[in-house]
Amino acid sequence: MTEHRVRVTQDSGSRWRRRAGEYQTLAEALAAAEPGDTVTLRPGVFRENVLIDKAVTVVPAEGPGTVRLDPSSGVALTVTAAATVRDLVIEGFDSSAAAVLITGPEAAATLVGCRVDTHSAVGIEVTERAAARLTGCTVNNPAGLGLRLRGAATAQIEECEVAAAGQAGLAVLEGAEARLNRCRLHHAAGAGVLLTDAGSLAELTGCELYEIRGSGVQAEAKAVGRLTDCAVHRVTGNGLTLDTEAELHLVECRLHELPENAADLRGHSTLTLERCTVRAFGRGALSVWDPGTRAEATGCVIEDSTGDYPAIWVSDGAQLTLADCTLHDLPDALFVLDRDSRATVTDTSFSRIRSSAISVSSGATVALERCRVREAGTGLWFRDHGSGGLLTECEIAEVATGVIVTKGADPVLRDCVVRGSAEAAVYVSAQGRGSFEDCRAVQGKGFGFHVIDGCRTVLTRCRAEQNGRAGFEFSEPGPVVEACTSDDVPSAKAPAETVPAPRTAQLTAGPALVAPPQIAPIPDCRPPDEALAELDALIGLATVKQEVRTLIDLISVGRRRQQAGLKAPSLRRHLVFTGSPGTGKTTVARLYGEILASLGVLQRGHLVEVARVDLVGEHIGSTAIRTQAAFEQARGGVLFIDEAYTLSPEDGARDFGREAIDTLVKLMEDHRDAVVVIVAGYTAEMERFLSSNPGVSSRFSRTITFPDYTDSELLEIARTQCAEHEYQLAEATAGALLDHFATLHRGPSFGNGRTARQVFETMVERHAMRVAQLPDPSTEDLQLLVPADLPLPRG
């Protein structure tokens, strides 16, 4: 057929060799062609398995897209020589073969403007030491790999696109090398780029990888990848996954919109980032695991986490180096865990960190030099035995607590400053140690250096200036102090000759500064009678008020007995609140904390309200960290856990909620006087919660049941809302409202006080719709709620 006819012409050479001919099949034309010839194809579909084994050029006579190769099975196009193929459409439906195969050491194929539209095992395969150059080509292979290089093959790929792949978009294996420039790989599965085996190398410049069902780049088994000015985004897995001694080097790349980790490293792999941006990641920016695994970032920005995990996680003996980087708007910035894990950080800033900027635990160490932490919950937290490191010339500002050292941790800080902390600038407890040399605590609202539990902290030439409570606070013998100064008056009551006087008095080492401090009321705290009056003013809750008053009386009298030198009863102040939603549990918890603070039982009396989502993580170890962080945030006040029963689901044998309960029980024992814990929820469910751990029920002194509000109490709540917002209830409206509350179904979802407030809000909306129709409403019209403003009855 003429649509299948091809023509062969010689492009160059002596005149006596010039010839031309037409052939019925492409195979005949290729057999007749000699090296240097051009094979020109008329428009049509060639259902042949084409083999090009000569250095010829194959082109369509009438331009791109007019000629298709579509055999019934097997490889559509095989190239074993230095041939050039231009502007063909290559198809195929063989799940066991490649659509295009470039193979053999003599192959040096060039494909220009070709479109591979196939359902094959591989779109284009280069193998057996072959070389290929692809320019302006498109591969669409939803059934298999897009491009595959193996067997020490090489490929130069420019301005190409893998538009769909059922497996990896590009696979470089068995010592092959690929160099991509301005390419796009998207809508692939498994990985955008897969690198494996020693000697395998992929270099990508100006490329984009996106819409990948898997990792953007997956490198393993000693393979190497280099990416410059590339973007990896909108993948379902990790942006980068490295394992088994693989290496990736990224320069000026952008990784974003990643639901998992931007980069996950394991198995002695190495990742180097230079001037890269990592943002909008769901789990972590960098997760670095295993001994010998290393990550290094220079001049990078890590920002805007969309999840609730540490941005950088270094564990199991891995190593991290950060230099001149910026991390901001994150839940936690850097967590370093496990013995032999280490992070070295220089000239790096951390800002707007919701919880801990840097956390070091389980024997890990850090080395920080000239780093800055600003606007964080905790600047640095050294959590336990063996955890430590060296901090030099670092600045921590505008944080809740600057540095926390606990449970045997032993860092060294030199020439560091903590400025403007909301609580302690430096807090050491629970056998923590730490050495602080030439450090300053400046303009904090709490203590400058607060050391409790007799910790053997060493303070040398440290200075405290303009701190709200005291410069240095030591509750027990232990701290070793040399040549430290303070212009603050400490709360510790030591002998006069050794107590630091105002205005740069010298602090003396030894046990002189260790008398137990008197816990002062929180700043601007109301007298207890005023807070009790507010409790009494709450609508209903008669039994609740009586229970709380009884408990407060016991605590108050117990403290007076202590002051009189008598033995006080041992009371557990932790409580269980049971009852339906909207019955005032949170309000009572807030007042309870404030009253205890006004009595001097708690330092601050503030309320920290959390639920399961705030305590329970999604991977091993994260739950304990979250629970400890919430407990620390509530230190000096009340930790209120709403719907606490969700921490012990009935079918939760492997649920991390039990880890939260175990951690909470231990913290309540270790810091029994620092935090009051109140757990709340439905009555039956809370009984299950209390039986979930042998130590749980013993930690709580009593259970207070909050009854549902009566109809008349709901009416009184509505009246209170009216008075607060300057509305009035007509007498008839009050009666109608009482009848309305009587008709409400009181099932498990009944909101009690919340329901009364919602009814009031609905009445305000209906009142506004009615009054808006009046031409000139009076002041009474603007205030008076009438029966017509009640919510419509439900059908």
The answer to whether 638 touches 675, Cβ cutoff 8 Å, is yes
Which pLDDT does position 620 carry in this prediction? 62
Question: Alpha helix locations (H) across 564-699?
Answer: 585-598, 612-615, 622-633, 657-670, 683-690, 696-699
| Local structure of 514: helix, strand or coil | coil
CA distance 197 to 225: 12
Partners of 44 in beta bridges: 67
Q: Which run of H or of E encompasses 98? A: strand 98-103
Structure tokens at 658: 């039990």
Structure tokens at 728: 């009035």
List, in order, residues 6 or more apart from 698 with CB less than 8 Å away: none
Pairing mode, if any, of strands 231-235 and 201-205? unpaired
Sole residue written with tokens 């193998």 = 127
The answer to whether 615 touches 623, Cβ cutoff 8 Å, is yes
Q: What does the chain come to in residues? A: 795
CA distance 395 to 439: 10
Structure tokens at 19: 């010839």
Pairing mode, if any, of strands 131-135 and 67-69? unpaired
Give the Å distances, CA to CA, from 203 to 156, 169, 247, 260, 440: 10, 15, 12, 24, 49
Q: What is the pTM of this model?
A: 0.64
| Residues of the chain where predicted confidence (pLDDT) is lower than 70 | 1-5, 9-20, 488-526, 568-572, 618-621, 650-655, 692-695, 701, 748-749, 793-795
CA distance 128 to 522: 77
Total Cβ atoms within 10 A of residue 229: 15
Pairing mode, if any, of strands 145-149 and 702-706? unpaired
The answer to whether 442 touches 469, Cβ cutoff 8 Å, is no
In the chain, % helix, strand, coil (3-state, to 5) comes to 20, 40, 40
CA distance 601 to 637: 10
CA distance 512 to 500: 11
Burial code (b: 16+ CB inside 10 Å, e: under 16) for 371-407 equals bbbbbbbbbbbbbbbbbbbebbbbbbbbbbbbbbbbb
| CA 727 remoteness from chain centre | 45
Which pLDDT does position 681 carry in this prediction? 86
Pairing mode, if any, of strands 484-486 and 505-507? antiparallel
Give the Å distances, CA to CA, from 348 to 146, 301, 367: 40, 10, 12
202 class by beta-carbon count within 10 Å (0-12 exposed, 13-18 middle, 19+ buried): buried
Closest CA to 120 of 159, 176, 164, 66: 164
End-to-end distance of the chain based on CA atoms, in angstroms? 76
Total Cβ atoms within 10 A of residue 132: 25
